[in-house]
Amino acid sequence: MTQALKLTDLSKTFPVGRRLFGGPKGSVKAVHPLSLTVHQGETLGIVGESGCGKSTLARMLVGLLEPTTGQIEIEGAALDTADPAAFGKRIQYVFQDPISSLNPRKTIRQIMEAPLKRLHGMPAAERRARISEIFDSVNLREEFLDRYPHEFSGGQAQRIGIARALAAQARILILDEPVSALDVSVQAQVLNLLADLRRDFDLTYLFISHDLAVVEAVSDRIAVLYFGAVVEIGPAEEVFANPSHPYTRLLADSAPVVGRPLSAPEAEGTELPDPLNPPPGCAFAARCPRATERCRTETPRLSPVGPRTEAACFHPLSE
Amino acid sequence: MTGFLTLLARNRLALAGGIVLLLVGLLALVTPLLPLADPDVTNTSNRFRPIFSPDALLGTDHLGRDLLSRLMWGTRLSLAVGFAAAIVAATLGAAIGIIAGYYGGRTDNVIMRGVDMLMAFPYILLALAIVAALGPGLLNALIAVAAVNVPFFARNIRGITVGIAHKEFVDAARLAGLSNTRIILSEILPNVVPVIVIAMSTTIGWMILETAGLSFLGLGSQPPQADLGSMLGEARSALITNPHTSIVPGMMILIIVMAINLLGDGVRDALDPRLKSGALSRPMAATRVDRKAPVPAPTGAGLLDVQSLETQFHVKDRVYRAVGGVDLHVEKGECLGIIGESGSGKSVTALSVMGLVASPPGVVTGGAVYYDGEDLIGAPYRRLREMRGRNVAYIFQDPLATLHPLYRVGDQLIEAIRAHRPIGKAEGRAKAVDLLRAVRIPNAETRISDYPHEMSGGMRQRVGIAMALANDPDIIIADEPTTALDVTVQAQVLTILDDLRRSRGLAIVFITHDFGVVAQLCDRVAVMYAGRIVEEGRTAEILDAPRHPYTARLMACVPELGGGKRRLEAIAGLPPAVNKLPPGCAFAERCTRVQEDCRQGHIPLARAGGHGVRCLHPIDDSREAAQ
């Protein structure tokens, strides 16, 4: 399998507390150095709770944020500028909130034309043909093109968002919580559409979500993020069914599932570590029932725990 | 545009201002065509003629010049200068504001500190300094007035731009390959134009006054040229002996500025989207009740007994039937789930119970809500206020929006208790700590003095629950209380709610869209679609063998953890708009089991045992449901 996307030691640190003169007071590591590969035609699910760095990662991947360290390689070629236009042709982004990602004062046609005109310099007649082709593939009627964004429901607007990403002709799409603003019945329509498009256009997806069941249903592989680092990565059917990292297990046990009695795996209110003052060692150690002295001093690295699974834990559950 | 004009015309004062301004503007435009005396010809033998003199309608000034003619020409000049200054100031200010707001960082800092310095000068001093440097004259006065007003526009527009520059559609434009200049021109500018127009409409009057002020001081228009300010300035010495020479230009300034300000306020109100939606018009303290049909009698089922409740939203000539006849009841210690998609009426049902639906536009048009035998619909506001929080309490989705950001959570809890009974400081604090402990907040004694922003989402929602418990209610209505929370936190909050209802015998109405949550927490569940309950019964029964096709399809399209990668069973189409409900079954359009009779007449909720279903062709076989 060829590699569509390769991340090497990608990290992002935000300065905190500007001073008038001199450097910032502190810094927050939103994403710890992270290496990942996504294969051509694969869907990699990225799951994590709020504040785990999923959105920061996504914005770095499309050039909206400049990484502090590391490199992004797309189909073997490195992209090290932070110019969204350079990224745009190769990797595109589908936003969480479909309505607010469309300019309220532009018609859908103007919105759709922008990437064709600016990224590909396509002449008008060709643009028209291409737009109707794309609209057809996302099951939208062409008469929608001359309307304004507020006239659409969430599901339709999200299809338009997907259509815009397709217009750039990128082969990798970053889907940042693409269905979490949608109702469940519409959510399924959009997820199925995404699956069809991937098959038809041989696309590669990075599917970011906080909804474990949705990620599991659409992904080939899943990476679990905690506190800015990947704690476990493996095949979708195994990650939640047979977790290796205690945090993955906590997530899987917390998800409400029909037929399972209500239980809170963690009774007390536990909170994420302070990002300004991160603990030494494993960030999950304070919440972990298996934590030992080693976990509190040494940071575990991602290492194989099964044939296709890797986890960043000294005491993985599969042991 | 026509919508904007009708909105504007509805505001009587703005309309009057607009008409006056239009008249003044027209007169100023046609001044050169009117048979007026030359405004600048002096005739000292004819000075200080009173108003209504035969040859001078408004009299003459200290040099014997015709005041009417001078007034007309002066108004023309003052209006022109005022508008020109406003346009110059708005253009420059908006450009500066957009650039500062869009680029941010150092650019923003340098520009805005410069603007701050301009603002630090008293404006009249600054204008005087500019005129002093450039020399007196109307054009220089215009430049001074414009320069003085640039900071106002720059700051205003910068604030708006910062908000827009971080919107997702700007990121999307960047990814579509647009350059910064193009983004500013095609994405940002169209979205700030309304704000520029609003700011201009409210400041033109001010600028006309400022220009008049400079002319009054002799720094604007130079003799013999008349503008309103210089006319006033020249009349100053004769203020006592011949007041009409000051009153005439003074009245004109008053009329123009009043008209512009009234119109400006109207324009602002008509363009502001929040005002347009009527959100800022104050809702009534309790939902309006207008029941046409006879009120149904209590059945005595449950502590809270909702009967054929109908709530509508009346917006202009449209009627949205948000809740179209809902029957519900909940017992002490029971948890009833209401499940549905957005727009299904689940939240409006919940809010109608305590008269919390905003009126206008909400109206309860039918049915009854019995709490322990007492009808709450149409109950006097006093009685409702007494019961809100004490008998029926609410928990909302977003605790950050329901907690006051400027008060400590402990004080907010004590306030909630004080709303119903007097309580001392020490006792209140002790009770607040108890409440926080009851929702398992660690270190309750110290957490009590936290502000809402110092807590995580899960902690805030616990405070929300604690507040609902503050007056020991019998019923808690929880409207998607865990939707904004992470799964690990959601599990904690759900267990707290479950424990509370068992230990305190609370009745809970739990509104959600998540079948997993319903399965774990609720004894009974009601499925809502387009304002009606389509299926109702014991949770296990409905989840095992849903009978309404909508319930079955909805369950099938939600992925369940542990199922692996798969294709989901989507429901094609969209729910109907509640102002255009079809006759018969609202789900017929999307249903695969639809038959001819589904599309006509009222379909009742058919009950068999504890299981009700509003369907003519329900799914009978449990095997069929599984497919």
Judge whether B3 is closer than 8 Å to chain A, CB to CB: no
Number of domains chain A contains:
1
pLDDT at A163: 93
* Mean of pLDDT over chain B: 88
pLDDT at B50: 85
Question: Quick one: B223 and B337 in the same domain?
Answer: no
Domain assignment present for residue B175? The answer is yes
User: Do the chains contact at B565 and A219, CB–CB below 8 Å?
Assistant: yes
User: Do the chains contact at B569 and A252, CB–CB below 8 Å?
Assistant: no
Judge whether A243 is closer than 8 Å to chain B, CB to CB: no
CATH number at residue B391: 3.40.50.300
CB B609 within 8 A of CB B538: no
Q: pLDDT tens-digit profile of A67-84?
A: 999 989 888 888 766 677
Q: Average pLDDT of B590-612?
A: 88
Q: Cα-flanking dihedrals φ and ψ of residue B80, to 5°?
A: -60, -45
Question: Quick one: B556 and B509 in the same domain?
Answer: no
Domain assignment present for residue B278? The answer is no
Judge whether A212 is closer than 8 Å to chain B, CB to CB: yes
Domain assignment present for residue B183? The answer is yes
The DSSP symbol for B66 reads: B
Judge whether A97 is closer than 8 Å to chain B, CB to CB: yes
Virtual torsion, Cα B316, B322, B324, B328, nearest 10 deg: -150
Q: pLDDT tens-digit profile of B76-109?
A: 999 999 999 999 999 999 999 999 999 988 899 9
Q: pLDDT tens-digit profile of A29-57?
A: 889 999 999 999 999 999 988 888 888 99
Question: Quick one: B348 and B455 in the same domain?
Answer: yes
Q: pLDDT tens-digit profile of B19-53?
A: 999 999 999 999 999 888 888 888 888 888 888 88
Three-class secondary structure of residue B64 per DSSP: coil
pTM across the whole model: 0.84
Domain assignment present for residue B458? The answer is yes
**A contacts of B519 (beta carbons < 8 Å):** 256-260
For residue B221, how far is the Cα from the chain centroid?
45
Question: Quick one: B497 and B577 in the same domain?
Answer: no
The DSSP symbol for B361 reads: T
Domain limit, last residue, from B525, B558, B585: B525
pLDDT at A315: 92
User: Do the chains contact at B562 and A257, CB–CB below 8 Å?
Assistant: yes
Q: pLDDT tens-digit profile of B189-244?
A: 999 988 898 888 878 888 889 888 888 888 888 888 888 989 998 888 888 888 88
Interface of A with B in 7-46 (CB under 8 A): none
DSSP secondary structure letters along chain A: --EEEEEEEEEEEEEES--SSSS-SEEEEEEEEEEEEEETT-EEEEE--TTSSHHHHHHHHTTSS--SEEEEEETTEEE-S--HHHHHTTEEEE-SSTTTTS-TTS-HHHHHHHHHHHHH---HHHHHHHHHHHHHHTT--GGGGGS-GGGS-HHHHHHHHHHHHHHTT-SEEEEESTTTTS-HHHHHHHHHHHHHHHHHHT-EEEEEES-HHHHHHH-SEEEEEETTEEEEEEEHHHHTTS--SHHHHHHHHHS--TTS----SS-S---PPPTTSPPSS-TTGGG-TT--HHHHHSPPPPEE-SSS-EE--SS-TT-
Query: Which one has a higher pLDDT value, B276 or A261?
Result: A261
Domain assignment present for residue A265? The answer is no
Confidence of residue B331 (pLDDT cuts 50, 70, 90): very high
Give the C-alpha separation, B8 to B28, whole Å: 24
Q: What crossing angle do the helices spanning B244-271 and B189-216 adopt, rounded to 10°? A: 170
Domain limit, last residue, from B266, B287, B306: B266
pLDDT at B536: 94
Question: Quick one: B31 and B154 in the same domain?
Answer: yes
pLDDT at A18: 66
% chain B with pLDDT above 90: 41
Question: Quick one: B396 and B461 in the same domain?
Answer: yes
* CB count in 10 Å sphere of residue B593: 17
Give the C-alpha separation, B206 to B233, whole Å: 18
- Mind listing the pLDDT tens digit of every residue in chain A (319 residues)? 688 999 999 999 988 776 666 667 778 888 999 999 999 999 999 998 888 888 899 989 888 888 999 989 888 888 766 677 778 888 999 998 888 899 988 999 999 999 999 888 899 999 999 999 999 888 888 888 999 998 888 889 999 999 999 998 888 999 999 988 888 888 898 999 999 999 999 999 999 998 999 999 999 999 999 989 999 999 998 999 999 999 999 999 888 887 788 877 765 656 667 777 888 889 898 888 888 999 999 999 999 998 899 999 999 986 5
Domain that holds residue B479: 332-360+372-525
**B contacts of A259 (beta carbons < 8 Å):** 519, 543
pLDDT at B625: 47
Domain limit, last residue, from B212, B237, B266: B266
CA atoms within 13 A on the CB side of B117: 5
Of A85, A115, A184, which has the smallest distance from its Cβ to B341's Cβ? A184
* Structure ipTM: 0.89
Measure in Å the smallest separation between the Cα of A173 and chain B Cα atoms. Answer: 12
Give the C-alpha separation, B485 to B458, whole Å: 6
CATH number at residue B185: 1.10.3720.10
Nearest chain B residue (CA) to A20 = B109
Q: pLDDT tens-digit profile of B547-572?
A: 999 999 998 888 888 777 788 888 88
Of A96, A212, A236, which has the smallest distance from its Cβ to B487's Cβ? A212
Domain assignment present for residue B4? The answer is no
pLDDT at A249: 92
Q: Which of B195, B119, B112, B194 is nearest to B157 (CA)?
A: B195
Write the CB contacts of B581 (distance below 8 Å, at least 6 apart in sequence): B321, B324, B530, B531
DSSP secondary structure letters along B274-292: HHHTTTTSPPPSS-EE---
Question: Quick one: B438 and B569 in the same domain?
Answer: no
User: Do the chains contact at B487 and A118, CB–CB below 8 Å?
Assistant: no
The DSSP symbol for B570 reads: P
Lowest mean pLDDT among A244-253, B230-239, B272-281, B304-313: B272-281
Domain assignment present for residue A237? The answer is no
Domain that holds residue A196: 3-14+28-219
Rg (CA), chain B: 34
Residue B532: pLDDT above 80? yes
Question: Quick one: B135 and B165 in the same domain?
Answer: yes
Query: Which one has a higher pLDDT value, A257 or B183?
Result: B183
% chain A with pLDDT above 90: 48
User: Do the chains contact at B513 and A213, CB–CB below 8 Å?
Assistant: no
Per-residue HEC secondary structure of B185-235 comes to HHHHHHHHHHHHHHHHHHHHHHHHHHHHHHHHCCCCCCCCCCCHHHHHHHH
CATH number at residue A128: 3.40.50.300
Judge whether A119 is closer than 8 Å to chain B, CB to CB: yes
